[in-house]
Amino acid sequence: MNRHLIAAADLSRDDALLILDTAEELARMSDRPIKKLPTLRGRTVVNLFFEDSTRTRISFEAAAKRLSADVINFSAKGSSVAKGESLKDTALTLEAMGADAVVIRHDASGAPHRLAGWIRGHVINAGDGMHEHPTQALLDAFTIRRRLGGGRSGAGGLDGVRVTIVGDVLHSRVARSNIALLNILGAGVTLVAPPTLLPIAVDGWSCEVSYDLDAVLPKSDVIMMLRVQRERMTAAYFPSVREYSRRYGLDAGRMAMLPEHAIVMHPGPMNRGVEIAAEVADSPRSTIVEQVANGVSVRMAVLYLLLGGAELTGEPR
Ligand code: NCD
Residue to mutate (ligand 1; options 174, 265, 294; most atoms within 8 A of CB): 174
Among the listed residues 4, 43, 105, 145, the single catalytic one is 105
Cα 96 to ligand 1 centroid, rounded to whole Å: 30
Does the CB atom of residue 249 touch ligand 1 within 6 A?
no
Other C-beta atoms closer than 10 Å to the C-beta of 313 total 8
Rounded to 10°, the helix 288-307/13-30 angle is 110
Helix, coil or strand: residue 250: strand
Q: Assess whether 106 carries a catalytic annotation.
A: no
Contact 224, 216 (CB under 8 A): no
Q: How far is CA 200 from CA 42, 173, 205, in A?
A: 47, 15, 10
pLDDT value at residue 199: 95
pLDDT tens readout for residues 209-236: 999 999 999 999 999 999 999 888 887 8
**Residue among 127, 46, 56, 128 nearest 93 (CA):** 46
Residue to mutate (ligand 1; options 124, 133, 275; most atoms within 8 A of CB): 133
Which domains, ranges and CATH numbers included, belong to the chain?
A: 8-132+293-307 (3.40.50.1370), 134-287 (3.40.50.1370)
Other C-beta atoms closer than 10 Å to the C-beta of 44 total 18
Please state the pTM of the whole predicted model: 0.95
> What average pLDDT does range 71-98 have in this prediction?
85
pLDDT tens readout for residues 157-183: 999 999 999 999 999 999 999 999 999
Q: Give 35's pLDDT tier (boundaries 50, 70, 90).
A: confident
